[in-house]
Amino acid sequence: MRDPSRDTPNVIAPPPLIYLGMIAAGFVLDSFWRFPLTLFPLQNLAGIAVVILGLGLSARSIIEFVRYGTHPDPRRPTTALIRSGPFHWSRNPIYVAFAIVHTGVGIWFGTSWVLLTLPLAVAIIRFGVIAPEERYLTEKFGDEYRAYQATVRRWI
């Protein structure tokens, strides 16, 4: 078991900042080299709907953290293994939600660059956040977490 004073997974950065940074990078790239995205009429409304969907999933996931009395920030100690709500079908529903929001922003503002930064954001999350979290949770919860991993997918 970890030293209680170091009871965190040591992720590389707060996940919301990773996604926001990649979204910002997409807008910066778009300001230098316009790469518009035009999919269909009412694209802006569709983008807004996708953002709302992602925010709703994020909120629903955070409600589970509150119910279990643990904190959603991966830089803080985890006190409970959550398997209900969105965590029943994804081990990382908040990161899925952030990816949905990221996609929605790209559609909403009609910029391909924002969408093109999504794979990099997902890769950073996968290797810089999820990998340390999985090692931490395996160490902290052992067989209980391994059983969860065996039955619930990492993303969707």
Q: Does residue 49 form part of some domain?
A: yes
pLDDT of residue 22: 98
Q: Could you tell me if residue 1 is inside a domain? A: no
Residues 6+ apart with CB under 8 A from 34: none
Give the pLDDT confidence of 60-90 residue by residue, as tens digits. 999 999 999 999 999 999 999 999 999 999 9
| 115 vs 131: CA distance, rounded Å | 24
Calculate helix-pair angle for 43-68, 93-109, nearest 10 degrees: 160
Q: Tell whether pTM > 0.85.
A: yes
Distance from C-alpha of 24 to C-alpha of 4, rounded to nearest angstrom: 36
Domain tally, the chain:
1
Kindly state whether residue 4 falls inside one of the protein's structural domains: no
Residue 144 resides in a domain: yes
Q: Is 12 inside any structural domain?
A: no
Domain-embedded: residue 15: no
pLDDT of 5: 56
Domain that holds residue 115: 20-31+41-72+80-151
Q: What pLDDT is attached to residue 35?
A: 87
Instruction: State how far the alpha carbon of 58 is from the alpha carbons of 112, 132, 135, in Å.
Output: 24, 21, 23
Separation CA 15–CA 122 (nearest Å) = 10
Q: Is residue 8 part of a domain?
A: no
Q: Which amino acid is at 79?
A: T
Q: Is 14 inside a domain boundary? A: no
The whole-number pLDDT of residue 1 equals 47
Pick out the chain residues at pLDDT < 70: 1-5
